Amino acid sequence: MPRKLRSVTAIYPGSFDPITNGHLDLIERGSHLFDRLIVSVLRNDSKEPLFSAEERVEMLREVVQEYANVEVSCFNGLVVEHAAAYSATVLLRGIRAISDYEYELQMALMNRRLRPGMETVFLLANEAYSFISSRLVKQVFGLGGSISGLVPPSVEERLGRRMSEIRKKGA
């Protein structure tokens, strides 16, 4: 008897403040692994993000439009509830170092407890991006360092405009 083919929807959650080329690499690779990949911006104002959730969604939509099976959404609360709203069965997460794994393992086990059947797929960061984090990108850029090649050009432009706004307010 032939097996019924199943469509797999995955959620790639994160703050993406801002999106980096490391995130983009995971999105590209995830788009090949899953039938539908939803990149979901966590709305967590307690973190005091540099960009609003709406701005982060807009940036993501600009840079993922070439992937036909990738969508962008926004959520707050539990990622497993967000995933359930899309009938997603997989959470995609990136691992840069052993320290990431320890945290991600705890999250994966909690998410599975909250929603049995929810699987977490870890992808190892591409070596070229294994040191990049949004926090580090913002810090280096804020201190005048080059982030060329670490973020998409459109994101670098937005960072420049945002830092100029911040400097004008502080002056």
Q: Give the chain as a DSSP string.
A: -PPPP---EEEEEE--TT--HHHHHHHHHHHHH-SEEEEEEE--GGG--SS-HHHHHHHHHHHHTT-TTEEEEEE-S-HHHHHHHTT--EEEEEE-SHHHHHHHHHHHHHHHHHSTT-EEEEEEPPGGGTT--HHHHHHHHHTT---BTTB-HHHHHHHHHHHHHHHHHH-
Q: Is residue 145 part of a domain?
A: yes
Overall average pLDDT of the 117-145 stretch: 94
pLDDT bracket for residue 6 (50, 70, 90):
confident
Residue 1, pLDDT score: 56
Q: Is residue 3 part of a domain?
A: no
Q: Is residue 85 part of a domain?
A: yes
Label the pairing between strands 70-75 and 90-95: unpaired
Specify the higher pLDDT residue, 75 or 168: 75
Residue 86 sits in a domain whose CATH number is 3.40.50.620
Task: Please give the residue range of the domain that contains residue 64.
Answer: 9-170
pLDDT at 99 over 90: no
Q: pTM of the full predicted structure?
A: 0.92
pLDDT at 91 over 80: yes
Q: Is residue 141 part of a domain?
A: yes
Residues β-bridged to residue 9? 36
- Across the chain, mean pLDDT equals 93
Residues 90, 39: Cα–Cα separation, whole Å: 12
Specify the higher pLDDT residue, 164 or 82: 82
Residue of 38, 50, 46, 48 lying closest to 14 (CA atoms): 38
How many structural domains are present in the chain?
A: 1
Overall average pLDDT of the 94-116 stretch: 94
Task: Note whether 60 and 16 are within 8 A (CB).
Answer: yes
Specify the higher pLDDT residue, 59 or 100: 59
Q: Is residue 4 part of a domain?
A: no
pLDDT at 3 over 70: no
pLDDT in tens, 12-48: 999 999 999 999 999 999 999 999 999 999 998 777 8
Residues 84, 13: Cα–Cα separation, whole Å: 13
Q: Is residue 107 part of a domain?
A: yes
Q: Is residue 56 part of a domain?
A: yes
Tell me which residues are annotated as active site: 23, 47, 96, 134
Q: Is residue 160 part of a domain?
A: yes
